[in-house]
Amino acid sequence: MKKILILGGGTGGTIVANRLAHRLRPEDASIEVVSDSPLHYYQPAQLYIPFGEEDPRKIARSERKLLNPKVHLRTETVSEWLPDKQALRTAKGETLSYDYLVIATGSVPCPEAVEGFVAGADHFYTPEAAYRLYHKLSEFEGGRLVVGVGGIPYKCPVAPLEFTLLAEAFLTHKGIRSHTEIVYTFPLNDVFQIPSVVPVVRALFERRSIRAETFFNLESVDAEKKVVKSLEGTELPFDILVMTPPHKGAPFLRGHPMADNDGWVKTDRTTLRVNGLPNVWALGDTTDLPISKAGSTAHFEAPVVVEQIEAAITRQEPPPGKATYNGHVTCFIDAGYGKATILDFDYAHPPAVNEPDEFRHLQKIAFNKLYWYLVPTAVI
């Protein structure tokens, strides 16, 4: 019997585990998920916590209850990966062996990587940080709000844009927009990394008087003087600073021979195999692929990994076209005021973006509620 280890109890790891449990017979393979948390977080909901629209206590559920009963769940932290021995070591000192390995350990926000960030900046990339920001925004009486991206790559590329637009609507509803300046910073030469998205965002920013500061690569935060500084020499004063922290891969992957220094795993863009290894795959935020680190990426990648593992175990060729990933990603952009738009793209087709409307907003809200029943369970 083959042993399949899946690292990570997020969207990617859970879908792969549940799909494999449906496809393989228990006598053919054992399936085990190794996660450092017993909880599964729906991370896109964190965006809404600062505005009081989500309860941080309600965005996580039991990973055990989301997994097929045939999947074993081990709650432990992986500390070392030994590809030559087809084994992993855990923080408790146990050794886990595998025949097939799936790495879906995601990305980790690292505010401590920037001088002054922890003392002077806020973010919404953990439930705790988002809740602290909720209190700060509730007590805010106007001034200068600076929102920005503190390093590329980061989780959910549209989230800082969404936060900026939602904050503008929130401050308007609160009656303090007229005496609040909003500045959005981005590391590149424009407001977003996908050129076809830029005109729509630029138009929204202009209509809502949001100023963009581009080529702003976060260098440090002076918490005492309330000034954020860029590598390019720009200094921006702020009353509230909401920065997307730099992100890294899981600690055990940083500097690993199969990953780069930041822990992004070397992954083939179509097969999702890791660095030429025949029995190891990576998906979701974990990879070094130049695509969005987003739940939808993991969602669309998972079936590709499953097809290849099933083919390897049953010694059959995978169905044509089903075992290759085409770069498909889907992201909503919530623009505030009950409107949203959607980006849908792949390696060959950049997104065509429409003006935000009510239908897409309702679609996003519905998806946020239905996620638990449809996505980790692999219904869709």
Partner 1 sequence: MEGIKITKESDARGSFCPGPLMEMIRLVRSANVGDVVAVISGDEGSKKDIPAWINKARYELVGMEEAAPGGTRIICRKNH
Residues in touch with partner 1 (CB under 8 A) = 152, 187-189, 193, 215, 217, 231-233, 290
From the CB of 188, what's the least distance to partner 1, in Å?
Answer: 5
Is residue 323 within 8 Å of 184, Cβ to Cβ? no
Q: Which CB sits closer to partner 1, 81 or 216?
A: 216
From the CB of 193, what's the least distance to partner 1, in Å?
Answer: 5
Name, in order, each residue with C-beta under 8 angstroms of 36's C-beta and a sequence gap of 6 or more: 75, 76, 77, 78
Q: How far apart are CA 203 and CA 174, in angstroms?
A: 23
Question: Strand 218-222 vs strand 329-336: parallel, antiparallel, or unpaired?
Answer: unpaired
Q: Which CB sits closer to partner 1, 193 or 275?
A: 193
Q: Which CB sits closer to partner 1, 193 or 270?
A: 193
Beta bridge partners of 151: none
C-beta atoms surrounding 266 within 10 Å: 18
Is residue 250 within 8 Å of 260, Cβ to Cβ? no
Is residue 123 within 8 Å of 133, Cβ to Cβ? yes
From the CB of 217, what's the least distance to partner 1, in Å?
Answer: 6
Tell me which H or E stretch contains 115: none
C-beta atoms surrounding 297 within 10 Å: 25
- The residue to which tokens 């638990």 are assigned: 372
From the CB of 215, what's the least distance to partner 1, in Å?
Answer: 4
Q: How far apart are CA 88 and CA 7, in angstroms?
A: 10
Distance, CA of 161 to chain centre? 14
Beta bridge partners of 178: none
From the CB of 210, what's the least distance to partner 1, in Å?
Answer: 20
Q: Which CB sits closer to partner 1, 213 or 344?
A: 213
Question: Strand 227-230 vs strand 218-222: parallel, antiparallel, or unpaired?
Answer: antiparallel
Q: Which CB sits closer to partner 1, 1 or 188?
A: 188
Q: How far apart are CA 342 and CA 344, in angstroms?
A: 6
Q: Which CB sits closer to partner 1, 39 or 152?
A: 152
From the CB of 246, what's the least distance to partner 1, in Å?
Answer: 11
Q: Which CB sits closer to partner 1, 9 or 153?
A: 153
From the CB of 155, what's the least distance to partner 1, in Å?
Answer: 16
From the CB of 264, what's the least distance to partner 1, in Å?
Answer: 12
- The residue to which tokens 């309860």 are assigned: 55
Q: Which CB sits closer to partner 1, 77 or 217?
A: 217
Is residue 220 within 8 Å of 115, Cβ to Cβ? yes
From the CB of 270, what's the least distance to partner 1, in Å?
Answer: 14
* Side-by-side strand order, sheet with 180-185: 210-213, 180-185, 143-149, 240-244
User: Which of 363, 331, 300, 350 shows the shortest CA–CA distance to 158?
Assistant: 331
Q: Which CB sits closer to partner 1, 251 or 350?
A: 350
Angle at 308 between CA 19 and CA 39, to 5 degrees: 35
From the CB of 92, what's the least distance to partner 1, in Å?
Answer: 35
Q: Which two tokens stand for residue 120?
A: 């002077």
Alpha-carbon Rg of the chain, whole angstroms? Answer: 21
Q: Which CB sits closer to partner 1, 189 or 316?
A: 189
